[in-house]
Structures are given as structure tokens and as C-alpha cells.
């Protein structure tokens, strides 16, 4: 199993450009999450999904949109990138109620720089 994968690994955008980050998991997990991590800080939740076709806002949702059209994929979109969105983005998935309950499995991250 590949676990949680993220595409791309690195990206540089200019202010105002748009892009989509892709997260894929092959563990058949119901829940998926997008976090961002700024230097020296902990992770902050952007959006999450508790199942295919559902999404919910997290702590810092402004400037982002998400979609969960397929169970295995969770997309994070930036419609008009701003320098404040320069960060490392982590995707995670979990299967509540199975094994370690709320254990989340994280991807390797996407490093985004907005100039």
C-alpha cells in the first residue's frame, strides 16, 4: 500500500494564480483532512471530509475550496493564491472506529510558495 500520497511535492505560484493539490489514499478510509503548517507552528485544519461527497470547514478555511468526488481522493483548491498561503500542506486520512480509532495517516506534504 502507498498509504497517503500528495501531488505535487513542490510548487511556486504567482499572486492571483490558481492551483489544485491532490491527495489520494488507498486504505479505503472514510475521513480525509487538509492541514497547513507555517514555519515554527503546529498544523492547522483547513477543511475535512467525513465521506464521499461531504466536506466541512476547519479552523482556517478562507481562500480554499475542497472536493471529495471519490472516496480515495480529496482535492484542495486555491482560486486566487496570496503570499499568506505560502505554507506546507499536509493531507491525512483516518477510519474512525477501526483499530486505533482516530489515528490519522499523513502524506509527505506539499511545499507551496506564493510570490
Partner 1 sequence: DAKTTQPPSMDCAEGRAANLPCNHSTISGNEYVYWYRQIHSQGPQYIIHGLKNNETNEMASLIITEDRKSSTLILPHATLRDTAVYYCIVANSGNTPLVFGKGTRLSVIA
Contact set with partner 1 (CB under 8 A) = 4, 33, 35, 40-45, 48, 50, 58-59, 88, 90, 92, 96-97, 100-109
Residue 77 CB, shortest distance to partner 1, in Å, is: 19
Residue 106 CB, shortest distance to partner 1, in Å, is: 3
Q: Could you give the C-alpha distances from 65 to 3, 15, 25, 26, 99, in angstroms and in order?
A: 23, 17, 19, 23, 31
Smaller CB separation from partner 1, 16 or 108 = 108
Exposed / middle / buried, residue 76 (Cβ in 10 Å: 0-12, 13-18, 19+): buried
Give the dihedral sign, CA 41/19/46/85: positive
Smaller CB separation from partner 1, 56 or 115 = 56
Residue 37 CB, shortest distance to partner 1, in Å, is: 8
Amino acid at each position: 500500500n502507498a498509504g497517503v500520497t500528495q501531488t505535487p511535492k513542490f510548487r511556486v505560484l504567482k499572486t492571483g494564480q490558481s492551483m489544485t493539490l491532490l491527495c489520494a489514499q488507498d486504505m479505503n478510509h472514510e475521513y480525509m483532512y487538509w492541514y497547513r503548517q507555517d514555519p515554527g507552528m503546529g498544523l492547522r485544519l483547513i477543511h475535512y471530509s467525513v465521506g464521499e461527497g461531504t466536506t466541512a470547514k476547519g479552523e482556517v478555511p478562507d481562500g480554499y475550496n475542497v472536493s471529495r468526488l471519490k472516496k480515495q481522493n480529496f482535492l484542495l483548491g486555491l482560486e486566487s493564491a496570496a503570499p499568506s498561503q505560502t505554507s506546507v500542506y499536509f493531507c491525512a486520512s483516518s477510519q474512525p472506529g477501526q483499530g486505533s480509532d482516530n489515528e490519522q495517516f499523513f502524506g509527505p506534504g506539499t511545499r507551496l510558495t506564493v510570490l
